Structure 1
Amino acid sequence: MSIEVGVKLKGKVSGITNFGAFIDLGGGKTGLVHISEVSDGFVKDINEVLKVGEEVTVLVTTVGNDGKVGLSIRKAVDKPKEERREFPKKEFQRPNTKKPFVKNQNTNSSNMGGKQDFDSLMSGFLKDSDDRLSTLRRSTEGKRGGRGGRRN
């Protein structure tokens, strides 16, 4: 039996660990379902969801060169479209501010085929990055006794 990524198979739970369950796929093949792939909800104890000997349907997610097979139970379950969770699209928010991120409107990308726009954005990013790094270095070096720190 050939095991390929994307194939749904039936198998029996052959072993349970604290990080997942081993599934016997038949033909001497065994795969692992990680605890995060058992259910859509949070699973604290996998023994509450699966039992050894239980028959399950799994989806093959990975097949390694070394023969390891990654499986998923939650992806093998067909859900009606209305049950699938759709997340609303949100505007990107800058950290620690209430203002939404707005692309710089002042740059003119029509010059040089957009190159000016990228160059100005990159130079602004590098300047901001350097300022943040120097502020961070000043505040941490004094606390841990690094180069140039305060000495009493």
Structure 2
Amino acid sequence: MTLMAGNILEGTVVNITNFGAFVEVEGKTGLVHISEVADSFVKDIRQHLKEQDKVKVKVISIDDNGKISLSIKQANIQRKSAKPAEIDWNAEKRKSSSHNFEDIMSKFLKDSEERLADVKKNQDFKARGSKKNFG
């Protein structure tokens, strides 16, 4: 495979610095910045990589001067997303059966009718009381 932006290739770590790792890919050396090593925060790159490690890298860019920017993190994302995640769309339906929904609706309706009856009683009481005072 050729060295082009977007390609995922295998390379060898040839040097490690505090800010990243230099990886040789197809005879050329590119930089994997420390922020492109892993999905999580990387404080010490040496905990993730060592010289002569074989790594999959994604070519992020190649500038006009020939500098190659690489990413281990994005190469792994590409591989993970190659197969869509399995989603069980019926899991939620199995958790809450329609019978359970019917019970909830029934209780809600009963409570609503009781509240409405209380409001009507209160309104009737107030209406009768005001007629007596002014009548």
TM-score (norm 2): 0.57
Match of 1:79 in 2: 80
C-alpha RMSD of the superposition:
1.7
Higher helix share: 2
Deviation by residue 1:91-129 (Cα, 9 ceiling, x = unmatched): xxxxxxxxxxxxxxxxxxxxxxxxxxxxxxxxxxxxxxx
Match of 1:117 in 2: none
How big is the shift at 1:79? 2.0
* Mapped partners of 2:50, 2:56: distance in 1: 14
Larger Rg: 2
Equivalent pairs: percent with the same residue? 51
Task: Give structure 1 stretches of 5+ with no counterpart.
Answer: 83-152
Deviation of 1:43 (Å):
0.4
Q: Number of aligned pairs?
A: 82
TM-score (structure 1 length as normaliser): 0.51
Q: Deviations over 1:25-44 (max 9, x none)?
A: 132x0000000000000000
Equivalence for 2:52: 53
Q: Name the structure, 1 or 2, with higher relative contact order (CA <8 Å, separation 6+).
A: 2
Q: Which runs of 5+ in 2 are unaligned?
A: 86-135
Question: 2-side partners of 1:7 and 1:26: how far apart?
Answer: 12
